[in-house]
């Protein structure tokens, strides 16, 4: 049977994987083949993490603005944060606005008011509050994936505004949490290497906003709290395809999470699914069926 729904749009059903740009910078649509690679990455990551027996949850792509304030995201990255706005007036007021828009091309969005939610900037912000006020008897690992949003100022290859991030979070005590983080760096380096990517492990910092932010970034780098795994993603660009972070008690304290009576420490390992896919396409070409057998086996996509 022919696939009539996509016959008129061959780029949607082609074997060549592609991110289709939209008219909005940093916002792209994955075609079928691209999304099949993302799905394969998702399942490979879950297999990779299986020995840790992570608890899996599904999280929405929006989050309470108050929560992001509480964990310092608003102060650290006001430039990247996207907030959700909505119309909060009467039908009569909306009618007035419609008339003004039709007659004077007046912008309707000036009547939008900020709501209590923001667009999720990183998957793991939904995971710490699940343990608020708990005193754990043993460390836990939680995992989720979400579309994340960052209002990136540049849109070089692989820098999207909306992208999918799979995260694993460990809540425990300092030493074993850093060991867990380091083990993820090694595991991710091996896995990405098996996928045929030219991966580097580099100490990194988050892009804190402004002058004070630069200092925070320097401290983060100095204390080696953040590691990034970088790889070429095409068009001459090298991007972080994954990162692993140790937060100390940054989340344990505001959410009063304890373990054996002590404030819990946390770490997370984050994987950018579009970026890893772009790196695979850059390394092996657009059609997964012609990728090296070892890569296909690691990923379980295409003919084996
Ligand atoms: P971060 O919280 O900045 O360490 O991000 C975690 C992972 O998400 C990174 O290692 C990337 O793989 C991915 N990521 C972050 N920002 C973007 C972006 N603007 N576009 C695509 N992927 C991103
Ligand atoms: Zn995280």
In this structure, the residue with its CA closest to atom 1 of ligand 1 is 243
In this structure, the residue with its CA closest to atom 22 of ligand 1 is 272
What ligand has the least distance to the C-alpha of 208? 1
Core vs surface per residue 193-213: b (16+ CB within 10 A) or e: eebbbebebeebbbebbeeeb
pLDDT of the residue at 110: 80
Residues within 6 Å of ligand 1 by CB: 122, 150, 152, 159-160, 163, 165, 240-243, 270, 272, 274-275
pLDDT of the residue at 189: 98
Task: Output the CA torsion 153→158→161→163 (10° steps).
Answer: -160
- How far apart (Å, rounded) are the C-alpha atoms in residues 109 and 89? 12
Which residues crowd ion ligand 2, with CB under 5 Å?
122, 124, 167, 268, 270
pLDDT of the residue at 22: 97
- How far apart (Å, rounded) are the C-alpha atoms in residues 118 and 112? 14
Report the separation in Å between the CA atom of 105 and the middle of ligand 1, taken as the mean of its atom positions.
Answer: 37
Q: Enumerate residue ranges in the chain where pLDDT < 50.
A: 1, 304
Q: How many CA atoms lie within 13 A of 200 on its CB side?
A: 10
Report the separation in Å between the CA atom of 250 and the middle of ligand 1, taken as the mean of its atom positions.
Answer: 20
- Contact indicator for 288, 302 with CB cutoff of 8 Å: yes
Report the separation in Å between the CA atom of 106 and the middle of ligand 1, taken as the mean of its atom positions.
Answer: 36
Atom of ligand 1 minimally distant from the CA of 152:
19
Among 125, 189, 270, 278, the mutation site with the greatest number of ligand 1 atoms within 8 A of its Cβ is 270
For 263-282, write each residue's pLDDT tens digit. 999 999 999 999 999 999 99
pLDDT of the residue at 300: 84
pTM as predicted: 0.95
Report the separation in Å between the CA atom of 54 and the middle of ligand 2, taken as the mean of its atom positions.
Answer: 15
pLDDT of the residue at 10: 73
């Amino acid at each position: 049977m022919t696939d009539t729904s996509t016959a008129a749009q061959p780029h949607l059903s082609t074997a060549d994987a592609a991110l289709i740009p939209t008219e909005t910078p940093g916002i792209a649509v994955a075609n079928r083949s691209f999304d099949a690679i993302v799905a394969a990455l998702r399942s490979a990551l879950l297999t990779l993490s299986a020995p840790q027996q992570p608890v899996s949850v599904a999280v929405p792509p929006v989050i309470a603005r108050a929560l992001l304030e509480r964990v310092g995201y608003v102060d650290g990255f006001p430039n990247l944060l996207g907030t959700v706005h909505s119309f909060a007036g009467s039908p009569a007021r909306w009618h007035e606005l419609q008339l003004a828009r039709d007659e004077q091309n007046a912008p309707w969005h000036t009547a939008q008011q900020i709501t209590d939610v923001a667009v999720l900037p990183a998957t793991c912000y939904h995971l710490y509050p699940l343990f608020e006020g708990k005193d754990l008897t043993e460390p836990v690992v939680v995992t989720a994936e979400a579309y994340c949003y960052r209002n990136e100022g540049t849109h070089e290859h692989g820098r999207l505004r909306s992208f999918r991030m799979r995260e694993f979070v460990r809540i425990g005590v300092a030493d074993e949490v850093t060991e867990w983080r380091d083990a993820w760096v090694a595991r991710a380096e091996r896995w990405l290497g098996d996928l045929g990517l030219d991966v580097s492990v580099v100490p990194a910092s988050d892009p804190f906003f402004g002058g004070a932010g630069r200092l925070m970034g320097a401290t983060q780098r100095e204390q080696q709290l953040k590691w990034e795994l970088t790889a070429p993603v095409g068009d001459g660009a090298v991007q972080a395809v994954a990162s692993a972070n140790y937060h100390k008690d940054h989340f344990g304290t505001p959410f009063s999470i304890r373990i054996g009576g002590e404030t819990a420490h946390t770490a997370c390992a984050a994987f950018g699914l579009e970026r890893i896919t772009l790196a695979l396409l850059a390394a092996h070409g657009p059609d997964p069926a012609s990728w090296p057998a070892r890569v296909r086996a690691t990923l379980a996509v295409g003919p084996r």
